[in-house]
Structure 1
Amino acid sequence: MTFLISLIIVICFVLFGVISPELFAKSATKVLGLTTTNFGWFYLIVAFAFLIFCIYLAFSKYGQITLGQDDDEPEYSLPTWFSMLFSAGMGIGLVFWGVAEPVSHYFAPPAGVTGQTTEAASVAMRYVFFHWGLHPWGIYAIIALSLAYFQYRKGAKGLISSTFAPLLGEKVNGPIGRTIDVLAIIATAFGVATSLGLGTLQINGGLSHLFGLASSTTVQIGIIAVITVIFLLSATTGLDKGIKLLSNTNLVVALLLLLLTLILGPTAFLFDTFTSTLGSYLNNLVSMSLRLTPFTHGNWVANWTLFYWAWWIAWAPFVGTFIARVSKGRTIKEFVVCVILIPSILSFIWFSVFGGTALHLEIFDQAPIGEAVQKDISTALFLALEHLPWGTILAVVALILIITFFITSADSATFVLGMLSSDGSLDPSNRVKIIWGILQSTIAVVLLLSGGLEGLQTASIVAALPFAIIMVFMCFSLLRALREEERLAKKRRREQAKKLERLLKDV
């Protein structure tokens, strides 16, 4: 039932976009305006609250609870686990925005900061850390932690609705539960399609920059078609083969590109950038987390921060379900620390290297990086790399990384959508995975046809709002379950103490 309902809704969106792309874009933009104007504050507050809640659970009395039975061991090694969650959680976005976002902020910083100044460069890097650091991984951790706890420790189905049993009881198996699961599937489908669209734009940009291939919608549709065939072949091989192999490959290629750029770029400057930006980020974390501009009516926060928070929330059902699937046997403390801290640090390093290199080229070497970002954001990374020694080789490695990230994200999303629409099955059928794989690629095509990058961003923000509300109640449900477990554990300890006391008296 959930599968059919979700399928019908998604197909209706796709048909709407195909039949009338202009009306689709106009309608989505109108809904976007209403969302950011009326609910921007909500996105900021809940994202910050999710992060605080995760940290509280990790270092509270619940931190030693195992996501599984007490004697369960982790299914995957730490390096493999990390590579799988990182590839699914960030992937294409890091490569797409690694150069483009810092440079964009440098030329058009938040209100109150003058562009193309030293302050603008510092603020640009600080906001990049903010958008790709602790907050997104806190959002992912909420879903993943809830799913893993209820699935592996309580024996529930691998469905978003199953995490609401402490609040809804048996109603999770009725219309309310199905509604929650349908919203999760829709948010996942549009969130992943956004990233696939971004990946397609950048693959086209890389092919254009390196080989002179035209940047056009026709080429982009062709790229999506080819990649779809590849990731569907991978998806049908199962979790322990296709996704695991691709994730490990992604991490190796990403680290290779990162190290080469660090060594061949302005190395000392990049270390300085990382250090100073990390301090600035931590010092301004709270103020950035709750920053809006009600007195200036500026749109910078809506265009960047709110887009990102909505993007992460739209991705959360997919990434959370996937992370939960590969996290059995971890303690809550280990889970939260690893899922939030380690990927955030790697993101900080990534943006310090690529964003720092781009800003150094723009500010000190007068390279036209800013002009490239304003002209075609998808080619900015390749242009920046070509100004370094071995630049063409680096650009080719970057293109390979984008393609493998694209395949891994689509592969993982196909697996998760199959799980969510197959009653939480840990091994969804290939038929279901193929249907969802084709549909999410079709959504990416429709979004590109109806407005390019703006259409992709609009879809993410609109699809995320209802699921953000669901996540708030998920936190209350998880906390209630943990408190109930602690209460029962205390009761058992008291009973055991009484039994021991009686035995001692008998002796």
Structure 2
Amino acid sequence: MTNRVIDWPTFIGALILLLLVTVPLIIFPEEGKLYVDAANTYVTTNFGVLYLLMGIAVFFFLVYVAFSENGRVKLGEKEERPEFNDFSWAGMLFCAGIGSSILYWATIEWAYYYQGPPFGIEPGSRQAIVWSSTYGIFHWGPIAWAIYTLPALPMAYFYYVRKSPVLKVSEATRPLIGKLADGPLGTLIDVLFIFGLLGGAGTTLALGTPMIAEGINRLTGLETNMIMNVGILAGVTLIFGISAYSGLRKGIKILSDLNLFLAFFLLAFMYVLGPTRFITETTTNSIGVLLDNFFHMSTWTEPFNRLGPFTKSGFPEAWTVFYWAWWLVYAPFVGLFVAKISRGRTIKQMILGTIIYGTIGSLLFFGVMGNYGLHLQLTGQLDVISILNNEGAPVAILDVISTLPWAPFIILIFTVLAIIFLATTFDSSSYILASVVQKEVADEPLRWNRLFWAFALCLLPLTLMFLGGLDTLQTASIVGGFPLIFIMIMLAWSFMKASNRDIEVSDQYKPKVINLNYKKILEKLRRGKKKQEPPQKGPVDAHFEEDDPNR
């Protein structure tokens, strides 16, 4: 049974690609790092504008789809209610898409912009302070969640409307590439997705593990070293391994709900007992600055700083392009996961819900945690920037948290939250990776398959952590994710082609929601095909190929 269900070319192809990338890095770490960094510089410098255009185009494309007829299509049966309530649904998509990285960057990202602001602004000036509290919200805002949402459209559509029991990126491009989705091209698309996700997971581990280790150090006094990092990875792996084994409705849902409750508690505690007025006013001001400058920030490329006497800061490549590339690497995974949990919702609800809930969640973290740290810096209570530059981000982050009342208790909450955030991202990742390497997923992927990818997600970054090559892997994943720009275009095109055709053929319209009975649509297409065929001698095969890209 297993041999028939597992898509072995994709399974083995993903592992081979990982070995081809990681083994040379292990054997020749210094030379490998130089080559990967050079490739990253080449891609972000020469194609950075492509990432920026992709980001804003995806955002406006999704807004169009949400308010078009396509957005009224329901993902499931006519009377079917959403499988998960709004709280659990929002919690699962947010935890899967963000992870412990948001605890890291929400607390400290402003400090980087304070020292190296955009638009040629003087570091540490009043304008630099304004932009330092705004740019993090932009990088984790609507465009980021739009990039996440796009792959969910065709995947959810084919899984719940066309009833295809396949959760693959290649399957979502079938209306465009036809039967090539079953061949080497389809396998390549899925393998690139898996490689990008495994590399992107290394980024999350690289940020989350030292931060958790520093939290444990503050609570227990234990030294932060490789042994502690291994112990953290082992503990996180055990948590998300159990969760992945338990499945979507038990393990992942429960873990995400717990995560959301702890996050709300931490943010409410910091907001109420911190500088409430400053946090409120600064966050409100940042929203206004973002709305005023959304297009400028989305398309800023420093074109004139490459020539003449002007100094090039490298800000767009170092921050905006890197973030769009990072979201892009994770996009097929988050899209697959959002598609899987969105049964019973309309496409409009899925699009707007993901972008709005995701943006609000990120806004709360950056607005409260970021502006709390900024307030400490501006009032002289804690020199966050000096600690960041001299002792590193994990120490600076925990120093910020330590200034709160009941510091040991809050550090405990923060550390547990970081562990669960990391676990929810990885159990969702292992669930989706297992789905991608199966030929079909009737309900949930095979348990042994989920567990295999749960441990694979941990062992590779752990090996590279011993060798000090984790930064190289995450950079390689960004470079490897470059082809995903074109795959995103294919996904958008495939969705529009398939849904427009189905809506055109179907006559089952409702005032607010379109319920597409795909069996009846296929029957209509079969009948139409029979009428168009010229009379033939002998029996006629009237079988309609569902995978025909020209239908």
Query: Would you say 1:408 and 2:424 are equivalent positions?
Result: yes
User: Is the Cα contact below 8 Å between 1:22 and 1:450 reproduced in 2?
Assistant: no
Residues 17, 107 of structure 1: alpha-carbon distance in 2 compared, 3 angstrom cutoff: same
**1:185: Cα distance to partner?**
1.2
Rounded to whole Å, the distance in 2 between the matches of 1:206 and 1:457 is: 24
Aligned to 1:67: 75
User: Is the Cα contact below 8 Å between 1:144 and 1:320 reproduced in 2?
Assistant: yes
Query: Would you say 1:462 and 2:479 are equivalent positions?
Result: yes
Aligned to 2:384: 369
- Aligned runs of 1:38-77 on 2, under 5 Å? 38-77=46-85
User: Is the Cα contact below 8 Å between 1:161 and 1:181 reproduced in 2?
Assistant: yes
- Aligned runs of 1:472-491 on 2, under 5 Å? 472-489=489-506
User: Out of 46, 71, 93, which is 1:85 matched to?
Assistant: 93
Stretch moving more, 453-462 or 238-247: 453-462
User: Is the Cα contact below 8 Å between 1:104 and 1:373 reproduced in 2?
Assistant: no
User: Out of 92, 109, 113, which is 1:105 matched to?
Assistant: 113
Stretch moving more, 288-297 or 443-452: 443-452
2:88 maps to a residue whose letter is T
Rounded to whole Å, the distance in 2 between the matches of 1:235 and 1:486 is: 37
Aligned to 2:155: 147
Aligned to 1:346: 361
**1:111: Cα distance to partner?**
4.1
Rounded to whole Å, the distance in 2 between the matches of 1:284 and 1:55 is: 19
User: Out of 400, 403, 409, which is 1:384 matched to?
Assistant: 400
Aligned to 1:497: none
1:327 maps to a residue whose letter is S
**1:447: Cα distance to partner?**
4.6
**1:348: Cα distance to partner?**
0.9
Stretch moving more, 166-175 or 132-141: 166-175
User: Is the Cα contact below 8 Å between 1:385 and 1:394 reproduced in 2?
Assistant: yes
**1:115: Cα distance to partner?**
1.3
Aligned to 2:42: 34
- Aligned runs of 1:181-200 on 2, under 5 Å? 181-200=190-209
1:377 maps to a residue whose letter is A
- Aligned runs of 1:25-424 on 2, under 5 Å? 25-156=33-164, 157-296=166-305, 297-374=312-389, 375-424=391-440
**Structure 1, unaligned runs of 5 or more:** 494-507
TM-score, reference length from structure 2: 0.86
Query: Would you say 1:4 and 2:12 are equivalent positions?
Result: yes
SS of 2:317 mapped into structure 1: helix
Q: Deviations over 1:245-292 (max 9, x none)?
A: 100000000000000000111001111011111111111111111111
Q: Deviations over 1:42-97 (max 9, x none)?
A: 11111111111111111112221112233332111111111111110112111111
Rounded to whole Å, the distance in 2 between the matches of 1:52 and 1:101 is: 27
Stretch moving more, 246-255 or 471-480: 471-480
User: Is the Cα contact below 8 Å between 2:205 and 2:461 reproduced in 1?
Assistant: yes
**1:456: Cα distance to partner?**
5.4
User: Is the Cα contact below 8 Å between 2:200 and 2:474 reproduced in 1?
Assistant: no
Residues 252, 327 of structure 1: alpha-carbon distance in 2 compared, 3 angstrom cutoff: same
Rounded to whole Å, the distance in 2 between the matches of 1:306 and 1:202 is: 25
Rounded to whole Å, the distance in 1 between the matches of 2:244 and 2:154 is: 25
Rounded to whole Å, the distance in 1 between the matches of 2:347 and 2:140 is: 22
Structure showing the higher helix proportion among its residues? 1
2:382 maps to a residue whose letter is A
Residues 292, 318 of structure 1: alpha-carbon distance in 2 compared, 3 angstrom cutoff: same
Rounded to whole Å, the distance in 2 between the matches of 1:125 and 1:212 is: 33
**1:424: Cα distance to partner?**
4.2
Q: Deviations over 1:287-325 (max 9, x none)?
A: 111111233243222221111111111111211111111
**1:102: Cα distance to partner?**
1.0
TM-score, reference length from structure 1: 0.93
SS of 1:147 mapped into structure 2: helix
2:476 maps to a residue whose letter is A
Rounded to whole Å, the distance in 2 between the matches of 1:491 and 1:386 is: 59
Q: Percent identity?
A: 35
User: Is the Cα contact below 8 Å between 1:48 and 1:135 reproduced in 2?
Assistant: yes
User: Is the Cα contact below 8 Å between 1:321 and 1:416 reproduced in 2?
Assistant: yes
State the superposition RMSD in angstroms.
1.9
Rounded to whole Å, the distance in 2 between the matches of 1:219 and 1:301 is: 36
Larger-gyration structure (1/2): 2
Number of residue-to-residue matches in the alignment: 493
